[in-house]
Amino acid sequence: MSIQPIEPELELSSHIQTLGHCSVTSPLPYRRFMSDSDLVMYDLDPGRLKARVRDGLEPMAFERAGAREKIYFDPANVKVAIVTCGGLCPGLNDVVRSMVHELYFMYGVRRIKGVRYGWAGLNPSNRLGLLDLDPEVVQGINEDGGSFLGSSRGPQPVDVIVDTLFREDIRILFAIGGDGTLRGAVAINKEIQRRGLGIAVVGVPKTIDNDIGMVSRTFGFDTAVAQAVESLRCAHTEARGARNGIGIVKLMGRHSGFVAANASLAVANASFVLVPEIPFDLDGPKGLLASLDSVLSKRGHALVVVAEGAGQDLFDDDFGTDPSGNRKLGDIGLLLKQRISEYFKSKKFEHTVKYIDPSYIIRSVPAAPNDRIFCVFLGQHAVHAGMAGKTGVLIGSWNNLFVHLPIELAIRRRKQIHPDGILWTSVLESTGQPESMVNSL
């Protein structure tokens, strides 16, 4: 059996930067603390591990997240800020609450600030001010969806943000957000270091799309999948209730179709799953329309699940970019609805199309219990990392353990569905859809 080469980004350093020597004894009443030499293996494949060791290379590993016995910041003096950026995601409030509780009750930190509406809140020209946070203020916020602090898309001038952090005497900035936010956090951290300011930047990865590189799960994803399942169930019911009924559900997922793929596996009655990672044609003998035709003649109904970023090559227009710099997408759901209806009408084939676009409904809800628990851990681990003076660090989860990742490592490459991986293979098995719906193949 040949041994696959290690992916290029794994050769990058997983070393975590720290602001300096940790000389303050942690106030946490733990019997067992984590140390920087507690590691989590990146690669559990024995063949690759052996080959690496044989080549004289260290096994690639991440630092374990968790409370340190000696910390960098004095809890009595340190002032921290929490910011939530980008699109909403179930669990944002749970992470904020968890951080505030950990800081306040466990470390005894009293100067905790909340930044309003994302990076915009750190630009004084927006006059948003900072909120004072304590356990009383964040009480019950985890019962609600959205972000208690408010969020926004788009960057703000990095030098202005760093000026604000310095002026406000913020020593730890906790940034909760997706890849755009994390890119911002890297730029802010670099500017802090250029100025030699000794401010820690700690990221918590957030996105329902679950597309952050080197992070096996982001919070909000499970909740979004659970919500999406409801739409799929309804669309399937509608499709089955009509002669040659076709249900179409469009789900979020700009570059990665994890929500669509996982929700489809959960309902186990989708006929087609279309994701940004796997191209498909509409027309021709192998295209979606012909495949759908054949499913209808066999089963009398069909459910099509499409991620919003799928089939973008079917649009000629350039729709511009959003404030985060993301390419705006053509509406693939509406295009499918129109083209499917036209196709069956032209064949004079009796059918009905029921289209559901749950849109923001899947991400503006409160987090489901599993995500809530996950968020509690993420918030706590972020606080431990910050108090230990770790910076440019992201709290990741790898092999079911919480780890410290350099933010730069995580944003190098987006996580996507692999066409030969187990997830997509399972989707193909569960739907029975052809492996390729591209006519030229």
The secondary structure of residue 139, as a DSSP letter, is T
Site mask for ligand F6P (CB under 6 A), range 400-429, x = bound: ------------------------------
Amino acid identity, residue 335? L
Distances (CA, A) of 286 to 275, 293, 395: 17, 11, 43
184 is an interface residue for ligand F6P by CB under 6 A: no
322 is an interface residue for ligand F6P by CB under 6 A: yes
Q: How far apart are CA 325 and CA 344, in angstroms?
A: 38
254 is an interface residue for ligand F6P by CB under 6 A: yes
Residue-by-residue DSSP string for 166-181: HHTT--EEEEEE-HHH
Beta carbon nearer to ligand F6P, 205 or 389? 205
Beta carbon nearer to ligand F6P, 181 or 391? 181
164 is an interface residue for ligand F6P by CB under 6 A: no
217 is an interface residue for ligand F6P by CB under 6 A: no
208 is an interface residue for ligand F6P by CB under 6 A: yes
- Closest to 18 measured CA to CA, from 177, 167, 193, 141: 193
Site mask for ligand F6P (CB under 6 A), range 286-315, x = bound: ----------------------x-------
Q: Are 158 and 124 in contact (CB under 8 A)?
A: no
- Helix/strand/coil percentages in the chain, nearest 5: 35, 20, 45
- Closest to 382 measured CA to CA, from 374, 210, 89: 374
Catalytic residue (choose from 209, 281, 293, 371): 209
Beta carbon nearer to ligand F6P, 75 or 118? 118
- Closest to 195 measured CA to CA, from 228, 218, 227, 161: 161
Beta carbon nearer to ligand F6P, 245 or 276? 276
Q: How far apart are CA 288 and CA 274, in angstroms?
A: 10
Q: Of 68-76, 185-193, 250-258, 416-424, which segment contacts ligand F6P by CB under 6 A?
A: 250-258
Q: In this structure, what are the phi and psi dihedrals at residue 301, rounded to the nearest 5 degrees? A: -160, 165
Q: Which residues contact 113 (CB under 8 A, 6 or more apart)?
A: 79, 80, 81, 82, 130, 131, 132, 133, 168, 170
Beta carbon nearer to ligand F6P, 36 or 322? 322
Beta carbon nearer to ligand F6P, 139 or 321? 321
**For this structure, is 209 an active site residue?**
yes
Taking CB under 6 A as the criterion, which residues in 109-138 touch ligand F6P?
none
| Residue among 363, 381, 384, 390 that touches ligand F6P (CB under 6 A) | 363
| Residue among 253, 330, 389, 392 that touches ligand F6P (CB under 6 A) | 253
The secondary structure of residue 273, as a DSSP letter, is E
87 is an interface residue for ligand F6P by CB under 6 A: yes
Q: How far apart are CA 361 and CA 399, in angstroms?
A: 30
By annotation, the residues acting in catalysis are: 209
Contacting residues toward ligand F6P, per CB under 6 A: 87, 153, 178, 207-209, 252-254, 308, 322, 363
